[in-house]
Amino acid sequence: MTIPPDDALCGLCGRPTDARQHDHHPEPAGGREAGERVEYVVVEVRGALARYRRADDPGARAHRTVAPDLAARLGVGPADLAGRHFTCRQVPDPDGVTMSDFRLVAR
């Protein structure tokens, strides 16, 4: 089995892109996929909550999420989250921002 490069994977679902890509994620009206890939770092895990912020801006506002859920998305244990860098696809939507396609950053 060959593993396709990251740029050959769908930024929303992680499936390989192909001629049928539009079948599972239609392109937005602008013709390109909306959103961007953003890198975050987990700055603290306290109890069941993990705090993370943008990796490129140490002064950025920290966000909170449920640590076991984030750990499961990244394929690590909750105790291993602190200090980890990850990326995700952020797509604006009517309710705010949808985050998907979480990936650990190798350091």
Q: What CATH code is carried by the domain that includes residue 40? A: 2.40.50.140
Residue 77 lies in a domain: yes
Residue 3 lies in a domain: no
pLDDT, residue 106, reads: 81
How do residues 52-105 score in pLDDT, each as one tens digit?
999 999 899 999 999 999 999 999 999 999 999 999 999 988 888 899 999 999
How do residues 11-40 score in pLDDT, each as one tens digit?
556 666 665 555 555 544 444 456 799 999
pLDDT, residue 31, reads: 42
The rounded distance, in Å, linking the Cα atoms of 59 and 78 is 24
Q: Count how many domains the chain has.
A: 1
Query: Is 0.75 surpassed by the pTM of this model?
Result: no
Residue 28 lies in a domain: no
> What's the N-to-C CA distance of the chain in angstroms?
26
Residue 101 lies in a domain: yes
64 CB-near residues (< 8 Å, 6+ apart) = 49, 50, 51
- Residue 102, domain extent: 34-107
Residue 4 lies in a domain: no
pLDDT, residue 53, reads: 96
